[in-house]
A and B are shown apart, each in its own frame.
Chain A
Amino acid sequence: MRRRTKHDSRLLIVGATSKLAQETARLYAPGSRLFLVGRDGERLAAVGSDLEARGCRVAAFQLDMNRTEDCKAMVMAAAEFLVEIDVALLAHGVLPDQSQCESSPELVREVLEINTVSTLCLLVPLAAHFERQGHGCIAVLGSVAGDRGRRSNYTYGASKAAVAVYLQGLRSRLFASGVSVVTIKPGPVDTPMTAHMDKTPLFASPRRVARSIQRAISRRRAVAYAPGYWRGIMWVIRLVPERVLRHLSL
């Protein structure tokens, strides 16, 4: 099997204060240049100094992802600091409680704003930049939840499914200019975001998922599951007929 792996060292990371983004960024240390984007300045500084201590050159950019008008300026600042962007990793997002989503339209809107709208809006200037640049990789964290609507998390799943479909189209558009688009679908991860869930054996450590993310990026996969065994699980879940699935509380 032919495996071309790329050694990326200039990364733009959006949602850099998320646990998965932090663990992934650490895998690129030392010696990388990292442009970190996040909403909370103090947290961003904490993540930045950690990566600096590990031997990276770091710049931080504070941005509320809902302010789509600021995204273009952010991409320009990243391009200025990194010179060439090898990888743009989009790792921001929220995981809402499904039962709350069932009674609060405001929460549904919020989830879709941050997980879907802000991601797609950011991809407009980002895709344009990569198209001009003519190489590199846009990697976006989706979720296994986006593969099939399930009772336990369909609001979150819907917000991620939209992104996955968008990326399919973007992938063919950017293919011509030599830019890869990688959709990464992590399963449940043992992070602060899931601290109060009961942990099943399917929960993976952030470190392990980060390794899968890095591998997917360096091999320029189109769609990657993290860890890889989720490909098999979701293949089965997608095959379950609706009239069976509606009886299950998955």
Chain B
Amino acid sequence: MTSKGRWRDRYASWGRFPVANPADVIPVVWRSGVLPLGKLERPVLPYGRGRSYGDSCLNNGGHLLDTAGLDRFIAFDRERGLLTCEAGVTLEQILDLVVPEGWFLPVTPGTKHVSVGGAIAHDVHGKNHHVRGTFGCYVRSFELLRSDGSRWLCSPAENADFYRATIGGMGLTGLILWAEVDLRPIDGPLIDTERIRFDSLEEFFELSAGSDQSHEYTVAWVDSAAKGKKLGRGHFIRGNHAPGESPQRGRRKTRPRLTVPFDAPTWLLSRFTVQLLNGAYYRFQPRKRVRRVTSYETFFYPLDFLSDWNRLYGKRGFLQFQCVVPNEVGEAAVAELLGVAARSGRASFLTVLKVFGEAESPGLISFPKPGVTLALDFPFDGRPTLELFAEMERVVREVDGTVYPAKDACMTGESFRVFFPRWKEFSRYVDPAFSSSFWDRVSLESDAT
């Protein structure tokens, strides 16, 4: 093959930065099969759907275990709402099966194109974190395959230490073969949605506090182009499951309507166009408050309708920065982060704000904790972008916050150990044959401390 590496484009991360060349890819198709994990010369890492933004799904120079073939359901208890499936099954496949039967995922991230294994490995969260916690809270059990060939059934009662290390463990503790997940009942596939324009961060926090009890789902989009007095304005989106059937289009297929067929030129999402688009989007809703009933897909997965949207950032790729900061300093820290981003002259295309709840995840090094979470997207422009990320990381460390590894491609090993004080305990459960580009980056100097 060419020198750029045979697998590079097919097994990239969602942000497509950094670029990594796995030495080889091993497809995993049967959960009963024997994998030669102990005999490999290089470290190995499970790879699901590649929706992690940074390098936690990459393994430069190592082996990837492609779990796309592990896409079978094992059992679906329609009475109790309990689903057992292989680790490569995507949330989309689950929803296609369970929604018509009146069930839903208790927690879903902003895309349904993630595998169950990936959702566990990053202990993903969603718009209802303030009432339901993380995905890991609903994982009853799973089977873990270690490189020595042993298979571990993990649950809160059995092998609880491996259970806790694997939830949020970024695929480093072994290969998840299958999992048993709790579902939640719904009356139909609809979401009663309300969209409220807000003019300041203060107003956002009022809205958020006022909706915590009344709405299961809350999230906010922030106009990153706004400065000065307008800083922190945006749209607050909240919703609840609503009864009723999908209006007439009963069996509408959920495939994307549009695809980005090639890498967009880099000027498409330059600072100016992003500012323009953000401002226009803010004004797109002239009324203060709009209420409507939508399908769950429109509400949870607006970006899934544009498949391969990461190509809009062009070949250079993009980086996402997501952090959580404690509630006490939430408003000030968010304002400072937005300010740092605005002053850098870089504009974030999609900025998302949400208040996390108190629910504790079983995961040993899970990201979500009580506080305010902020996510920003930036095209990768080389050093200036990295400097901006270092600056934002510093702000988060100062206020005792945490940066999300699933989105990260930049944090230093030192920061990682500050953000996740239980990292040492966690590293005892990391399989000796497993590693990732992320883990190489943050754990290499670990013995120095």
Contacts and interface: CB of A to CB of B under 8 A. Distances in A.
B6 interface: yes
Given A46-B32, A192-B69, A198-B1, A53 B75 contact: yes
A192 B32 contact: no
Interface in A33-82: 42-43, 46-47, 49-50, 52-54
Given A54-B97, A198-B1, A47 B72 contact: yes
A195 interface: yes
Counting chain B CB atoms within 10 Å of each CB, which of A19, A54, A198, A199 scores highest?
A54
Contacts of B73: 49-50, 53-54
B29 interface: yes
Nearest to B29: A192
Contacts of B83: 53
Contacts, number: 40
8 contacts: A19-B69, A46-B74, A49-B72, A50-B74, A53-B73, A54-B76, A192-B29, A195-B25
Given A53-B97, A198-B1, A46 B72 contact: yes
Contacts of A47: 72
A53 B32 contact: no
Interface string A173-199: 000000000000000000010010011
A26 to B, nearest CB: 10
Contacts of A43: 30, 32
B397 interface: no
A112 to B, nearest CB: 25
A22 B6 CA distance: 28
Contact of B31 (A22, A46, A195): A46
A166 B27 CA distance: 35
Interface string B13-45: 000000000000101011110000000000000
Interface residues of B, number: 20
A54 B96 CA distance: 10
Interface of A: 19, 22, 42-43, 46-47, 49-50, 52-54, 192, 195, 198-199
Contacts of A52: 75
Contact of A50 (B1, B10, B25, B72): B72
Interface in B51-108: 66, 69, 72-76, 83, 85-86, 97
Contacts of B74: 46, 49-50, 53
A123 B73 CA distance: 32
Contacts of A42: 30, 32
A49 B85 CA distance: 10
Contacts of A195: 25, 27, 66
Nearest to B73: A53
Nearest to B1: A198
Nearest to B10: A199
Given A53-B73, A53-B74, A192-B69, A46 B97 contact: no
Interface in B231-247: none
A46 B30 contact: yes
Contacts of B27: 192, 195
Contacts of A49: 72-75
Contacts of A22: 72
A195 B29 CA distance: 11
A16 B74 CA distance: 16
Contacts of B85: 53
Given A43-B30, A46-B30, A198 B76 contact: no
B91 to A, nearest CB: 16
Contacts of A192: 27, 29, 69
Nearest to B101: A55
B64 to A, nearest CB: 12
Contacts of B25: 195
Contacts of A50: 72-74
Nearest to B32: A42
A22 B71 CA distance: 10
A158 to B, nearest CB: 27
A25 B72 CA distance: 12
Contacts of A53: 73-76, 83, 85, 97
Nearest to A42: B32
A128 B69 CA distance: 36
Counting chain B CB atoms within 10 Å of each CB, which of A22, A47, A49, A199 scores highest?
A49
Contacts of B69: 19, 192
A168 to B, nearest CB: 34
Contacts of A199: 10
Contacts of B86: 46
A53 B74 CA distance: 7
B101 to A, nearest CB: 9
A54 B75 CA distance: 9
Contacts of B32: 42-43, 46
